[in-house]
C-alpha cells in the first residue's frame, strides 16, 4: 500500500532528524498527517541533535530568502526612481 510506504518513509526521515516541514516538502504529506503518524516516535539524543541542527539550518535559509527578497524589492524601487 502506498500510504504504508509513505508512513515508513516519513518515520525514517524523522529518525534522521528531518523537521515536519522538510518531510512535508519531500513527501508531499500535510504536516497535520505527519503529526498524527509520527507523534509516538521517541528520538534518541543523537536524533534530537540532528533535528535541532536542521531547525537552525532552516532558520538561516529563511533569513537568507527574506534578505534576498528585500534586496530585489529595493532594486526594483531604485529602478522606478
The pLDDT tens digits for 12-26 are 998 888 888 889 999
- Over the chain, what HEC string results? CHHHHHHHHHHHHHHCCCCHHHHHHHHCCCHHHHHHHHCCCCCCHHHHHHHHHHHHHHHHHHHHHHHHHHHHHHHHHHHHC
Query: According to the model, what pLDDT value does residue 47 have?
Result: 84
The tens digit of pLDDT for each residue in 39-62 reads 888 888 888 888 888 888 877 766
Does the reported pTM lie above 0.75? Answer: no
pLDDT at 5: 92
Q: What is the pLDDT of residue 46?
A: 87
Amino acid at each position: 500500500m502506498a500510504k504504508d510506504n509513505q508512513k515508513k518513509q516519513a518515520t525514517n526521515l524523522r529518525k534522521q532528524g528531518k523537521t515536519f516541514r522538510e518531510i512535508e516538502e519531500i513527501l508531499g504529506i500535510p504536516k497535520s498527517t505527519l503529526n498524527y503518524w509520527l507523534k509516538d516516535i521517541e528520538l534518541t539524543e543523537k536524533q534530537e541533535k540532528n533535528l535541532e541542527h536542521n531547525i537552525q539550518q532552516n532558520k538561516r535559509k529563511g533569513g537568507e530568502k527574506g534578505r534576498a527578497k528585500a534586496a530585489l524589492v529595493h532594486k526594483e524601487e531604485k529602478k522606478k526612481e
